[in-house]
Amino acid sequence: MFVGYWIVATAALRQSDKSQAAIHWGHWALSQSRDQTGNLSLVGPQLPVSQAHIKEKRILRHMESGWQTDGKGPSIWDTFCHEKGQVFGNQNGDVTCNSYELWEKDLECIQQLGLTHYRLSLSWPRLLPDGTTRNVNQRGVQYYNRVIDDLLACNVSPMVTLYHFDLPQAIQDLGGWKSPGIATLFDNYPKFCFQMFGDRVKLWITINEPQVCAKLGHEVGIHAPGLKEKGTAAYLVGHNMLRAHAMAWHSYNSAYRITQNGAVSLALNSDWLEPLEPGRSEDVTSAERDLIFTLGWFAWPVFVTGDYPELMRSSIETQSKIMGYSGDLRLPRFSIDDPPILGTADFFALNYYTSRKVKSGGCSDQMLSMERDLDAEEILDPSWPICGVSWLAVVPNGLRKLLKYIKDVFNNPTIYITENGFAQVGRLQIEDVERCKFYKSTILEVAKAIEEDEVNVRGYFAWSLMDNFEWADGFSVRFGLFHVDFSDPELRRTIYQSGSEYAKIIS
């Protein structure tokens, strides 16, 4: 993703690190210089590079497809996609990139880029069609064994995500993430995966973007399972996801860590959010509250106190009183019977895409809702370019600011940037110059965070290896370093210019 004169070198990958990823920063010893255009560039020693690792995407963000193949059970996204009007153009994830049958082609792409790390997601309903270990799909186990073994044979280390939105429909039928019992059901699934694959997998993500799953799937309704239970369901879902994550972490810590020597976390998404007018106290407070409701919701219990931020709880309870709500606490409290939440992450996994300015007020809801609880308005700075979809403003220095915030607020954790990318829509552009510029600018900002802000960033994962099914946007949005021609029965993969530039940097 860099053009000609830009050089990035990283320190050699240290095998002793608990977790490694993408562009991997061990001990950076980089100097800064000015190129012929006056732009700040990174220059470092030509050391072995632990390179820009790309996240695998499968059906519905996990591009293996084969939604009914070889014993796989249905997921909530299979159900959601097959309902008219839920996804752009009524598209679905039945085939997508078809990594289930074209894995060898994917591996060729990985080798073409020269990667040493690769993030992939397991499909819960492929391994356990009804969501429980009573019904194990051995063909699913064989598939993932082959993927993991092939990666390792090519000297590529896998980072494995256990849950990326595709809840087994059978579990949803029992209440899904709203049910208190789901934490135990989920815990059985990671334990199964640790047993099957943990001898070779050293980097685990339990749950990807719980905030997105809770809010878009249960408050806004534009993601599966498509619920619109405003002001209540999302908080309950987020609570149960935290409980489930904590159970899985403790299971690994007590039964598997000593023999498998891996690391476990959950991937949290957040925009960078800053006050529209830094000198206006109302905007400063609103931006702080917005960060709490977005990132602090999950990071605060895991990294700071073991409980939700007081600012979040007080904001929700204030609105409950104003609206005359007299039901159960909308933001639940953790039980003494739950495993401790605090400390259940061996690293901080961050998904970052964009930034917003924030000002106070702006909510028009006359009923309970997360928007009313937040009571803040997010605004796009008109100076920020937009890539593809309307929400995705390109703000590379927002990532640096967010990394510094995480260092300062969450006790200086080891950080892996587990998603970051640039979208393309409309006319296909194989020579994706703007995406090349994006990665160049973004990785430079990460380097500044490391060198100047002393943030402990260990790795960067670009989203994504290939164009794929982007949830409610279907195939209309393209994030890949390889283009996939979905009109071609063979689903031909073609490298973008950004992919070629990426490969040059990490070679």
Given a contact cutoff of 8 angstroms between Cβ atoms, the answer to whether 503 and 465 are in contact is: no
Q: Name residue 416's amino acid.
A: Y
Q: For strands 376-379 and 355-360, give the pairing.
A: antiparallel
φ/ψ of residue 275, rounded to 5: -65, 140
Predicted pLDDT of residue 69: 65
Catalytic residue flag (residue 454)? no
Predicted pLDDT of residue 94: 87
Q: Rounded distance, CA 77 to CA 102, Å?
A: 21
Domain boundaries 7-12+64-271+389-506, corresponding CATH code: 3.20.20.80
Among residues 209, 288, 377, 419, the one annotated as catalytic is 419
Predicted pLDDT of residue 68: 58
CB atoms within 10 A of CB 273: 25
Given a contact cutoff of 8 angstroms between Cβ atoms, the answer to whether 316 and 223 are in contact is: no
Task: 90-94: list long-range contacts, CB under 8 Å, 24+ apart.
Answer: 91/469, 91/474, 91/475, 92/469, 92/474, 93/59, 93/60, 93/65, 93/67, 93/469, 94/59, 94/65, 94/67, 94/68
Predicted pLDDT of residue 55: 34
3-state secondary structure of 207: strand
Question: pLDDT tens digits for the chain (507 residues)?
Answer: 212 212 222 222 222 222 222 454 433 323 333 332 233 233 322 222 233 333 333 222 335 545 556 789 999 999 999 999 999 899 888 888 999 999 999 999 999 999 989 999 999 999 999 999 999 999 999 999 999 999 999 999 999 999 999 999 999 999 999 999 999 999 999 999 999 999 999 999 999 999 999 999 999 999 999 999 999 999 999 999 999 999 999 999 999 999 999 999 999 999 999 999 999 999 999 999 999 999 999 999 999 999 999 999 999 999 999 999 999 999 999 999 999 999 999 999 999 999 999 999 878 778 999 999 999 999 999 999 999 899 999 999 999 999 999 999 999 999 999 999 999 999 999 999 999 999 999 999 999 999 999 999 999 899 999 999 999 999 999 999 999 999 999 999 999 999 999 888 777
Q: Rounded distance, CA 126 to CA 133, Å?
A: 12
Q: Rounded distance, CA 474 to CA 493, Å?
A: 18
φ/ψ of residue 432, rounded to 5: -90, 70
Given a contact cutoff of 8 angstroms between Cβ atoms, the answer to whether 328 and 352 are in contact is: no
- Domain regions of the chain by residue span: 7-12+64-271+389-506
Q: Which H helix or E strand runs over 205?
A: strand 203-208
Predicted pLDDT of residue 358: 98
DSSP string of 421-487?
Answer: ---B-SS--SS-HHHHHHHHHHHHHHHHHHHTS---EEEEEES-SB----GGGTTS-B--SEEE-TT
Predicted pLDDT of residue 219: 98
CB atoms within 10 A of CB 454: 10
Predicted pLDDT of residue 70: 75
Predicted pLDDT of residue 23: 54
Given a contact cutoff of 8 angstroms between Cβ atoms, the answer to whether 391 and 398 are in contact is: no
3-state secondary structure of 23: strand
3-state secondary structure of 241: helix
Q: Name residue 281's amino acid.
A: S
Q: What is the C-alpha end-to-end distance of the chain, expressed in Å?
A: 13
| pTM listed for this prediction | 0.89
CB atoms within 10 A of CB 36: 7
| DSSP bridge pairs for 207 | 163
